[in-house]
Structure 1
């Protein structure tokens, strides 16, 4: 167990490294399953610290710090991947502190902060390893945005005893200087779909001789809006969005097909599954009305709903009150973004903390996945402190429920 002053000093010592690492990762973002250089940076740090590790998937890193002393086992996880988009050089008020130096990729969700924070915590915890007990798994995941290694990670830890899994996510709706460890569902489940509407193309002057997949798709989307009101349990929220639609090449040519794709979010898996069944039925039935067919080319209803267990929430609150005070702890509503953290919690309680990174004075107010999104780097130290304090206390003091 570490006292708060020791944790704060350790985080202070690591802060220059954490900020330098954050800047390096932010300027050199890498997409899911292609995080070669990011993974290499993590591996180099682990080698220098003498922490054994292995590569899982393409570039994911799993390391183990075994103190050799009896205690709990805790998994600490960070994600490494960026998004396939270009970053704006300005936030909501002015120029950013640093900007991606490559095109087509950007850390507009905050995974660069997560990796930098966990590396800082690894360095701090290794520096105090003689005061620790139990085992610590450090996981650096390569494809959170796509869930590309979720199944691999679940399989890897299926037969490994874990007492808890921990992750931090920076949160644009929460002010810097605050952290949320509220119990319950924290991030939603994800349902993804893609529909190919097959019709019969032809000249735009004779639509009667064609079967327009565009008209069919347009009415599918309209009918889905109605179905979400009248054909679902309205007491269980399931959001629906259409993110892309593609068809045709010229104004006077009716194409043979039209494709559209979208996503759903939910906090009840059965409600999500029923909503997907409704979506597919509505699309197929509407297609028939227009002499077309609807082909489901992609369909996913994930069970992964990131959740903080009541017992880990209470333990974290007790850890953080002496460190951050009541003013540092916040409650937030569940976030409708999705992520696969739940795969680590199939057989152990989890804690998914939200770390405030919003600073209105600096213009750091844009939402995640927005080109103007920017993490307030002043939040990084709190992330390291929280991770180290929770880890040290958990390994020594947490009493797992049988």
Structure 2
């Protein structure tokens, strides 16, 4: 978000901060007013940078964030809503904007293949017993394993590292995050059992394999790729 000039007097200046506040409040309210209530979606702003002095209204403001959703159409609707609200806020506050990276909804859902899920469930029962197996609700997080699942059939599972008695188990990316390390060996055991059962599975596992090459796939997913002397390196999202 940018305004026309820097000034210390709010009556003579246009504030990108005020513009952002308008936009953010509208965005939060739009979740209820404008998006389908039966299709989960979360979005958050994790970074805001503007100004360096308390008595000077800054020239610009830069913010970034993420959105997580379980249905692709909900993601597309959220993108259209995001841009419309940004247009309206900037018009109302006499600001303009540029995208450092334009918001693009991408299909990276973690969707466990049914056969692999059955193999994994049986592997857990074999290794740890039936009582160790439980289902987990949909998790509104970002997980790159979904990219692997576009190319190979697989299953994503939680090991369960929370232990109230040891006071560990805070959410990811939290300064208090810690794990019960005694559980790690159980994860290794069940993973090894799953690998053995997967390799011994006698039937073909049905799945729709990704047909795009890596370059095309990453470009369409809006990932930036750098190729220094035939060596592929992922440099940004």
Q: TM-score range by the shorter chain?
A: 0.7 to 0.9
Contact 2:153 2:205 in 1 (8 A): no
> Any residues of structure 2 matched to 1:64-103 within 5 Å, and which?
none
The reply on whether 1:279 has 2:68 as its aligned counterpart is no
- Please point out which of 84, 88, 91 is paired with 1:288: 91
Output the CA distance in 2 between the equivalents of 1:217 and 1:368: 28
Question: SS where residue 157 of structure 2 aligns?
Answer: strand
C-alpha contact 1:315 1:398 (8 A) present in aligned 2? no
Q: Which residue of 1 aligns with 2:68?
A: 265
Q: Does 1:315 align with 2:119?
A: yes
CA RMSD of aligned residues (A): 1.6
Question: For residue 129 of structure 1, what is the aligned residue in structure 2?
Answer: none
Contact 1:201 1:253 in 2 (8 A): no
- 1:3-402 paired onto structure 2 within 5 Å: 197-205=1-9, 207-298=10-101, 299-402=103-206
Aligned equivalent of 1:154: none
Query: What secondary structure does 1:285 align onto?
Result: helix
Contact between 2:22 and 2:89, CA under 8 Å: does it hold in 1? yes
Answer whether contact 2:14 2:94 (CA < 8 A) is retained. yes
Structure with bigger strand share is 1
Distance in 1, Cα, partners of 2:47 & 2:148: 31
Contact 1:200-1:213 within 8 A present in 2 as well = no
C-alpha distance in 2, partners of 1:226/1:362?
Answer: 39
- Size of the alignment, in residue pairs? 205
Residue 172 of structure 2 aligns to a residue whose secondary structure is: coil
- Maintained 8 Å contact 2:116/2:198: no
Q: What is the CA distance between 1:349 and its match in structure 2? A: 2.2
Q: Which runs of 5+ in 1 are unaligned?
A: 1-196
Contact preservation (8 Å) 1:202, 1:255: yes
Structure 1 residue matching 2:141: 3-state secondary structure: strand
Aligned-partner Cα distance in 2 for 1:374–1:300: 33
Segments of structure 2 that go 5 or more residues without pairing to the other structure are 207-237
Distance 1:347 1:245 in 2: 36
SS of structure 1 residue aligned to 2:118: helix
Q: In 2, Cα distance between the equivalents of 1:314 and 1:325? A: 15
Q: Following TM superposition, by how much is the alpha carbon of 1:347 offset from its aligned partner in structure 2, in angstroms?
A: 4.1
Residue 398 of structure 1, CA deviation? 4.4
CA offset at residue 331 of structure 1?
Answer: 1.4
Structure 2 equivalent of residue 19 of structure 1: none
TM-score (structure 2 length as normaliser): 0.81
Residues 169-228 of structure 1: per-residue CA shift (max 9 Å, x gap)? xxxxxxxxxxxxxxxxxxxxxxxxxxxx111333333x2332211111111111111222
Q: Relative contact order (C-alpha < 8 Å, sep 6+): which is higher? A: 1
The 2-side partners of 1:398 and 1:280 are apart by 50
